[in-house]
Amino acid sequence: MSERPVAMFAMTAENVPRIFPPGVLARLRDLVDIDPALVAEDFTRPAVREALARTEILISGWGCPPLDAAVLEAAPKLRAVLHAAGSVKGFVTPAVWERGLVVSSAAGANALPVAEYTLAMILLAGKDVLTHRDRLRAERAFPHQGVLLGIGNFGRRVGVIGASRTGRRLIELLRPFDLRVGLADPYVDEAGAAALGVTLLPLDALLGGSDVVSVHAPQTAETRHLIGRRELALMPDGSVLVNTARGSLVDHDALVEELRPGRLGAILDVTEPEPLPAHSPLYDLPNAFVTPHLAGSQGNELARLGLVVVGEAERLAAGRVPEFPVDERELGRMA
């Protein structure tokens, strides 16, 4: 067997055992020479700098420091960065691409629980579960006799904003249900939408014709407040906005204006800022359901990210290219 390449973790130290529990770590250590006790939270530490000079593969995660030109100069043998999380925007600098390093990300695996959360919320919104849970809790009696009108998921119109990794995975998960799914994405053409099995719509038409709108666009300067006062006004009475992408994509002040009179509903797993200020009305409005950024990988789902990295390390060891490479050109539009 050939000598194992030297690797090093670069993330918040507490995340190493979470993403690489014993079984996953053992598989990784069969492939690379790595010390789980040495974690680069700061590339200026002497022990880290010394190890960096020998490192061929960097296994990054949440909390990875920036890989700038100075760091890369101290790592002459570095050839690949395997990211055990989602976006690499926060730490991959232009120097990484100039150096020609291989970059891989477990973003696709992290997108799965986000899509699952979103699917659950779409179906619950169709039944208006949260409103009726609160009424039952308050009145201690059924608020209806027999059939409850005005709810249901048969033929409900779902609008997906952004064919990102999460958006595409959500579209897959929605297929078994009797829903009509539309997509708004400037990078997708009619043929691409047909391949996904959805109807391609301009953003305004999607907003105006959907019972539930789910946001999956990337966070860029152009998408800040993508859903603002004008866009929210286009949504039909009683429709619901779901945001599991980034809080900055929605204008929260404008959203509150639509929520106060009860015209719309909102399910927000991401906000701006995070967490919301203690005085935010979004905590108390009955038609706003806010969760603490938990849609992404949590608990036992973190091991899935580690397994992606193990798979990528196996491919590198076999002389193959990564299955989940990151393309610099796609960073601005993939989420």
Residues marked as catalytic: 246, 274, 293
CA separation for the pair 277, 244 (Å, rounded): 19
Which residues, 6 or more positions from 138, have their beta carbon under 8 angstroms from its beta carbon? none
Rounded distance between C-alpha atoms, residue 184 and residue 210, angstroms: 11
CA distance 21 to 18: 6
For tokens 């390390």, the residue is: 313
CA distance 267 to 248: 15
- In single-letter form, the type of residue at position 21 comes to P
Determine the Cα–Cα distance for residues 117 and 232; give it in Å rounded to an integer: 22
3-state secondary structure of 227: strand
Alpha helices in 2-87 (DSSP H): 16-19, 22-31, 46-52, 69-73
Phi first, then psi, for residue 266 (nearest 5°) are: -145, 140
Q: Amino acid letter at 280?
A: S
Nearest Cα to Cα of residue 328 among 61, 102, 29:
102
The tokens describing 52, both together, are 């960096």
